[in-house]
């Protein structure tokens, strides 16, 4: 059962806040929708579409503003970067080691974090979308594995839109003019019909697609409102 305690921010998380808040404000016009849908305490799994290398900075601020401490699943190579890697490790972010015998370690760490009442954020696509128009693409099944492993934990879809105009695929950086970046938090998903089902490859794909459909619906809402 998920513990109801609320993890406390330590030195490294607060350092991230000091860095990220002014950086986000400098680069983007930020607007969040439905932050109240993120529970104040207890484990929660958040699935977000991936459109830019700036996503983690903007989503970290969103999660912090909701009153939670973010724990991202981030590709392991980032932890080798000077300064940033040390901050990521110190802040308790979860390295994802792709295509290795340690690939499952990140899911086990994320599952433990969820059971300990933490807010875990995953990009189900695994990388920035390759869709020409930045729509979400087919996701990997890691998000379904986590959702089914922790059935008592709510799964929330978040759609985001706008950061790609500032920092595009390939690292093209255009900070001027300052673009709007928005995100919308969807309602918790009802995955109860899968709780007693064997997590076969087919079931994992179905659950993953259902989660990503909910994420895409939030993206559609944001784009339609532009």
* Omega of the bond leading into 23 within 30 degrees of 0 (cis): no
Q: pLDDT confidence of 4, banded at 50, 70, 90?
A: very low
Q: pLDDT confidence of 101, banded at 50, 70, 90?
A: low
Task: Write down how long the chain is.
Answer: 226
Q: What is the reported pLDDT for 2?
A: 37
Residue with tokens 């970046």: 181
More confident residue, 12 or 106: 106
pLDDT (tens digit per residue) in 165-208? 999 988 899 999 999 999 999 999 999 999 999 999 999 999 99
Query: Within a 10 A sphere around the Cβ of 128, how many other Cβ atoms?
Result: 20
**Spatial distance between the Cα atoms of 183 and 48, rounded to a whole number of angstroms:** 9
**Spatial distance between the Cα atoms of 20 and 30, rounded to a whole number of angstroms:** 13
pLDDT (tens digit per residue) in 73-91? 988 888 878 877 888 888 8
């Amino acid at each position: 059962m998920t513990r109801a305690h609320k993890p406390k921010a330590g030195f490294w998380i607060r350092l991230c806040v000091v860095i990220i808040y002014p950086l986000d404000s400098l680069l983007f016009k930020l607007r969040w929708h439905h932050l109240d849908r993120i529970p104040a305490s207890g484990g929660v799994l958040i699935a977000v579409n991936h459109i830019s290398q700036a996503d983690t900075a903007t989503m970290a601020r969103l999660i912090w503003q909701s009153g939670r401490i973010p724990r991202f699943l981030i590709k392991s190579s980032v932890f080798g970067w000077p300064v940033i890697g040390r901050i990521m490790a110190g802040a308790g972010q979860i390295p994802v080691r792709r295509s290795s015998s340690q690939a499952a370690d990140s899911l086990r760490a994320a599952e433990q974090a969820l059971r300990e009442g933490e807010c875990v954020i995953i990009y189900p696509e695994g990388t920035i979308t390759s869709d020409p128009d930045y729509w979400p693409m087919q996701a990997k099944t890691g998000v379904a594995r986590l959702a089914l492993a922790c059935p008592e934990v709510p799964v929330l879809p978040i759609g985001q839109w706008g950061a790609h105009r500032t920092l595009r695929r390939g690292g093209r950086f255009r900070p001027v003019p300052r673009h709007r970046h928005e995100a919308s938090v969807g309602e918790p998903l009802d995955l109860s019909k899968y709780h007693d089902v064997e997590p076969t490859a087919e079931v994992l794909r179905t659950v993953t697609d259902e989660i990503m459909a909910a994420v895409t619906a939030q993206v559609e809402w944001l784009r339609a409102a532009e």
